Amino acid sequence: MKTQVAIIGAGPAGLFLAHLLKRHGIESVVLEARSREYVEARVRAGVLESGTIDTLNNLGLGERMMREGLVDNGLDMRFRGRTIHLDLPGLTGRSVKIYGQQEVVKDLIGARLAEGDPLIFEAEVVRIEGADTASPRVHYRHQGEARTLDCTFVAGCDGFHGVSRAAVPEGVITTYTRNYDFAWLGVLVKAPPLPDMTYTNHDRGFALCSRRSMSISRLYLQVHASDRPENWSDAQIWDELHTRVFDADRTEIKEGEIFQRDMAQLRAFIASPMQYGNLFLAGDAVHIVPPTGAKGMNMAVADARVLARGMAAYFSNGSRAALDRYSEECGLRVWKTIRYSAYMTGLLHRFSEHSEFDRGMQLTELEFISQSEAAQRTIAEQYVKLSDVAD
């Protein structure tokens, strides 16, 4: 099989890229290791920045998001029993939308298949050959058989554990990593959510009350990295959430059936450069942010937009200039996003290595933010528009 762009991975990065390329008349084949059912059911991010919303709308695929997604105008941060309310439109002129990543993925997959464009599930890429040549070849396994896909460019959109980054020879890429010794225990609950996204910094640890719809809450607790979802009974989860959110009389957080649990490890990771020859890395394949900033999916979409623009220029006029600048163009935005995500993580979590002095500094920072509109605007601006890129 032969195509212009071989896209490895049908997560947000790969699927957005495929649709953006098609808009420019560029053919691609998407190879996804997992089944369609698995990919569409994978619960992950849920906060869409305006750049992501606009991209989906401009592709003509935002109808369900606009209908079912919830506009989020506020971001609350609690500490010492008090709430700092960030009025997002008031501070920035913008808001964000709550619409689950799995819903975005469903919309993109549905449209791709409806248009009859190639997206092959259960096609696991095992090797990329000739990434630094004019005719790379992607080797994959499908229905028990070894197959190949020849292409002009390979887009490695296969997440942190994919094969693309590993295909770059040693010494070309430098990695920068911070692993946290805590994780998020996440639950989906059949109960009405709090009206605003609510982060809390409590002596017992961080908690987050988010939402997926007016009847589904998405709730998180900071736990140790070695903890497991099955270690927690439902009653323990509720006790801990009420306590950490300063909901002493247990009236604010509505309890309901917990119908899904998962754990997300917290890690910050950047690999640079994001390209090698004709292989381009995008999304989690090349950077991971701790989820506190709600940026992972938005970053992946922003990468796809920059990459699609570079490939469009190449296929329309033969110029590689934009493609050669891909990594450089993404770099500062990626570092800024990681900086913001690490800052929010540092502001809101309990750290085992913190002294009483460190804890005092952290709470004083929150006191300062509560009294300074400028500090609130700084956080709000980064929350709503760090992933802006030009098309």
Ligand X SMILES: Cc1cc2nc3c(=O)[nH]c(=O)nc-3n(C[C@H](O)[C@H](O)[C@H](O)COP(=O)(O)OP(=O)(O)OC[C@H]3O[C@@H](n4cnc5c(N)ncnc54)[C@H](O)[C@@H]3O)c2cc1C
Q: Figure out which of the listed residues 49, 247, 284, 329 binds ligand X, where binding follows CB under 6 A.
A: 284
Q: By the 8 A CB rule, do 55 and 308 touch?
A: no
CA distance 235 to 244: 14
Q: Figure out which of the listed residues 205, 283, 290, 310 binds ligand X, where binding follows CB under 6 A.
A: 283
CB of 55 to ligand X, least distance (A): 14
Residue placing its CB nearer to ligand X in the complex, 284 or 329: 284
Query: With binding defined as CB under 6 A, does residue 12 bind ligand X?
Result: yes
Q: Figure out which of the listed residues 5, 6, 7, 13 binds ligand X, where binding follows CB under 6 A.
A: 13
CA distance 334 to 345: 16
CA distance 91 to 143: 53
Query: With binding defined as CB under 6 A, does residue 11 bind ligand X?
Result: yes
- Residue 201 bridge partners (DSSP): 79, 206
Residue 305: count other Cβ atoms within 10 Å of its Cβ: 24
Provide the residue count of the chain: 391
CB of 341 to ligand X, least distance (A): 9
Coil, helix or strand for 363? helix
Nearest to 240 by CA among 261, 256, 219, 217: 219
Q: Figure out which of the listed residues 188, 297, 312, 330 binds ligand X, where binding follows CB under 6 A.
A: 297
Q: Which stretch binds ligand X (CB under 6 A): 155-163, 247-255, 322-330, 354-362?
A: 155-163
Residue placing its CB nearer to ligand X in the complex, 165 or 244: 165
Query: With binding defined as CB under 6 A, does residue 124 bind ligand X?
Result: yes
Q: Which residues inside 247-266 make contact with ligand X, applying CB under 6 A? A: 262, 264
Query: With binding defined as CB under 6 A, does residue 100 bind ligand X?
Result: no
Residue placing its CB nearer to ligand X in the complex, 91 or 297: 297
Residue placing its CB nearer to ligand X in the complex, 181 or 367: 181
**Token pair recorded at residue 301:** 């979409």
Q: By the 8 A CB rule, do 29 and 7 touch?
A: yes
Residue placing its CB nearer to ligand X in the complex, 267 or 359: 267
Q: Which stretch binds ligand X (CB under 6 A): 25-33, 57-65, 76-84, 309-317?
A: 25-33
**Token pair recorded at residue 314:** 């190449």
- Residue 218 bridge partners (DSSP): 188, 210
Query: With binding defined as CB under 6 A, does residue 45 bind ligand X?
Result: yes
Coil, helix or strand for 105? helix
CA angle 335, 387, 286 (to 5 degrees): 50
Residue 289 CA, distance from chain mean position: 8
CA distance 272 to 287: 9
CB of 20 to ligand X, least distance (A): 13
Q: Which residues inside 319-378 make contact with ligand X, applying CB under 6 A? A: none
CA distance 300 to 337: 12
**Token pair recorded at residue 295:** 């940026």
Query: With binding defined as CB under 6 A, does residue 158 bind ligand X?
Result: yes
CB of 284 to ligand X, least distance (A): 4
Q: Figure out which of the listed residues 7, 19, 28, 44 binds ligand X, where binding follows CB under 6 A.
A: 44
CB of 123 to ligand X, least distance (A): 6
Residue placing its CB nearer to ligand X in the complex, 141 or 359: 141
CB of 80 to ligand X, least distance (A): 25
CA distance 77 to 68: 26
Q: Who contacts 2 (Cβ-Cβ below 8 Å, separation ≥6)?
A: 149, 150, 151
Q: Figure out which of the listed residues 167, 194, 300, 348 binds ligand X, where binding follows CB under 6 A.
A: 300
Interface ranges with ligand X (CB under 6 A): 8-14, 31-34, 39, 44-45, 101, 124-125, 157-159, 162-163, 262, 264, 283-285, 291, 294-297, 300
